[in-house]
Structure 1
Amino acid sequence: MTVMSSQRNMATNSSIDHCNVPNNATYQTLSWVMMGEFVLGLPLNLSVLYIFIFRFKFWKNKSIFLFNIVVADFLLVACLPAKAYHYHKHERHNQDKVVCKTMFFMLFLNRGATIAFLITVSIDRYFNVVHLGRKNFVKVLKKSPQISILIWLLLLPLTIPTMVNTFECCNSHGREVETFLHDVTDTFREIVCFTQIIIPFIILVYCTVRIVNRLRRKTVGEKTKLRRAVFVVLSVVVVFSVCFLPSTIARAVLLGVRLRKWQAAEDVVVQVYDGLMVLSYADCLLDPLVYCFCNSGFKDAYVATFCPTFLQTRWPNSDCGTVTTTTTTYTNQNPGTKTVSFQVLEKL
């Protein structure tokens, strides 16, 4: 009787929590993918942190928002080994509720921070191009480190629902026993999950369309700056389209299937959703492209530090570093002298 009761409780918990692994081979593969993201992402983000702090000096180059994205990516990379370990053990979550909730809290916080600062950078570029000459409030905000701290603090209330005690197994909705607190917590979390992707994506599309239209109307002499602005917003759109949108769509499908109690379909959709979530962690590998498009000085500093030979052949007129003025004086055939001044760029 005790064994039968235990088995019945296990089955009930499985149906309530939806934490079973439908296919061991799928999650074994996903664990190796995450380890690959970790192996590539750790040295990449460490090198980017080094450049931002010691070579580029982000606080002097108005790149505080970009530096915050680097911090968010680094925290995300730090979570990947634990997540990969759980998948390798054929578990969708850690059995310890504290560890499980902490992991989801970190993932929600890091994703929210990345999106918030990427959108801020895109809006800043939009105002610089489309509304050139008008007062750009983003340009004023990005000079203050206190604003970045405020953004992080505002993100905390949006991640608190992942720490609620009744948050069973890090899942949402479709439980056999649904309490009012369960329902409110899950609904709030899902609203945050979807709005933090959909609303920023709409903003990105709007900024991209306006900047492209501005590029078409501008004269040839101004097109270089505008093309760079287009590359910035397009790179952010690529990050959203590859990393965030697919998992968000899969999340919506998963919730619909779970609420209708289609267990066979749920077993498939769960694997698709978890696979796309693993893909979303690749934003820590794609974000450096945004840094390069946003600030050519960062690109030049990075290449000068880690690829100096390549820099000399491809970017002989690199714009990173300091500029010194050398004055040469010579005498021509006519009386008097002529002074010629030219700029020499010193590499970082």
Structure 2
Amino acid sequence: MALQTTRLPELSITVADGNQNSTNETQCINLDDWDWLTRSQPVYLFIITALGIVLNAFVLLVFCLHKKACTVAEIYLSNLAAADLLLVSCLPFWAVHIGNGFNWPFGVALCKVVNAGIKMNAYCSIYFLVLVSMDRHVALVHPMSHGRMRRPKYAKLGCLLVWGLGLFMSAPTLVFRAVRYFPDFDVQACFLDYPSHTVELICDGMLIIFSFIIPISIIAFCTVTIIRALKKQSVARFNAEKSEQKATTLVLVVLVVFLICWVPLHFTTVLDVLHRTNVMGGCRLEAVIAICNQIFAYLAFFNSVINPILYVIVGKNFRKKVQEVCKQWAVSTVTTASTRSNTSATLRTFT
């Protein structure tokens, strides 16, 4: 009987393919070792959700309400904020799931949609940063041609293509996510029910290649060229393109923080694939991978909260936009109050 490993958030289960009962189930780690992690997960997820929704919604409001049109870099960063908002909106379902003893109470449809939303964030976030890196590369390394290449309509088209790519790459999650009762653990779990071990490895391989190797390679190339271009800039050039330098600084900081948050999870996924293909083995390694997979996943989720904070701390242009939006709101409020006052005075005159 062929066996496949189903990785739940709190433990590793070995279950039989198809509808047959599982046999020779094994656990490489003591479930008591997960107590410290499972107790903290719901609280952590709700905190991430609250902060992420407020901060990313704030970023989107600033970009949308500002009277000036967004620059190309701001179009990409606003879409990144939208992707982060999508992710944190999905996390409360998993918080309830974990707090409910790892029983999924929301049905099959939400099992598929919620996890597809999380998967879309993994793809869309990295490719929005790819677009940002390419934009900075063109602006600094090829300044003579950036007027033709860096147009808002092209940026919006690129963002639309990234959302389409994220939806396409999350299709396996929509297809293979299922809800099943595991009697040995007494849980009604939302899990990835791959039809075969080969399909599972193909999906994981696609995740590693398209959400890690390819985009990280592009980002690394662009980052190196950006740093070289910044070093070569003369003082006069630096002053002339001060706004470009400010935007580049923000982008580089966002990139570094993203890599810190996401690379450990992707590295653990690579180890997991190598373990399941018997390239690497050992029960201890399986236990380490299982625990690290959970810890690094929640580190990756935290990136959705850090990004809006970085815009405020590092992004001088963004802070300027916030001040201008606040002034717009204040002027609008005063104008509205004045209009109401004049209207009331006019009504009193004719009564």
Fold conserved between structures, TM > 0.5: yes
Quick check: 1:253–1:269 contact (8 Å CA) kept in 2?
A: yes
The aligned residue for residue 136 of structure 2 is 125
- Of 155-164 and 223-232, deviating more is 223-232
Within 5 A, what are the aligned runs for 1:132-147?
A: 132-135=143-146, 138-140=149-151, 142-143=153-154, 145-147=156-158
Q: Is the radius of gyration larger for structure 1 or structure 2?
A: 1
Q: 1:228 to 1:185 in 2, by over 3 A?
A: same
Q: Which amino acid aligns with 1:188?
A: C
Q: Name the CA shift for 1:165/1:143 in 2 (closer, same or farther; >3 Å).
A: closer
Query: Which one-letter code corresponds to 1:49 in the other structure?
Result: L
Deviation at 1:82, TM superposition (A): 1.0
- Name the residue aligned to 2:340: none
> Which of 274, 279, 282 is the matching residue for 2:302?
282
2:110 and 2:283 map into 1 onto residues whose CA distance is 27
Letter in 2 for 1:266: E
Name which of 258, 273, 291 aligns with 1:255: 273
Aligned partner of 1:188 in structure 2 is 203
Superposition deviation, residue 96 in structure 1:
4.4
- The answer as to whether partners of 2:56 and 2:84 remain within 8 angstroms in 1 is yes
Q: Report the TM-score, using the length of structure 1 for normalisation.
A: 0.70
Contact 2:262 2:300 in 1 (8 A): yes
Q: Could you tell me which residue of structure 2 aligns to residue 272 of structure 1?
A: 292
SS of alignment partner, residue 282 of structure 1: helix
Which of the numbers 294, 299, 305 marks the counterpart of 2:319?
A: 299
Q: Mapping of 1:1-348 within 5 angstroms?
A: 12=23, 23-55=34-66, 59-62=69-72, 63-91=74-102, 96-135=107-146, 138-140=149-151, 142-143=153-154, 145-165=156-176, 170-171=191-192, 179=196, 182-223=197-238, 225=242, 227-228=245-246, 230-260=248-278, 262-288=282-308, 291=311, 296-303=316-323
Q: Partners of 1:259 and 1:96 in 2: how far apart?
A: 32
Structure 1 residue runs of 5 or longer lacking an equivalent are 1-6, 309-348
**Higher RCO (CA-CA < 8 Å; seq separation 6+):** 2
Contact 1:76 1:106 survives alignment (8 Å): yes
Counterpart CA distance in 1 for 2:47 and 2:139 is 38
1:160 shift after superposition:
0.8
The TM-score normalised by the length of structure 2 is 0.70
Unaligned runs of 5+ in 2: 1-14, 180-189, 328-351
Matched position secondary structure for 1:23: helix
> Contact 1:162/1:170 (CA < 8 Å) preserved in 2?
no
* C-alpha RMSD of the superposition: 3.6
Contact 2:76 2:132 in 1 (8 A): yes
Percent of aligned positions with the same letter in both sequences? 25
Aligned residue pairs, count: 292
Give the distance between the partners of 1:185 and 1:102, measured in 2 at CA.
19
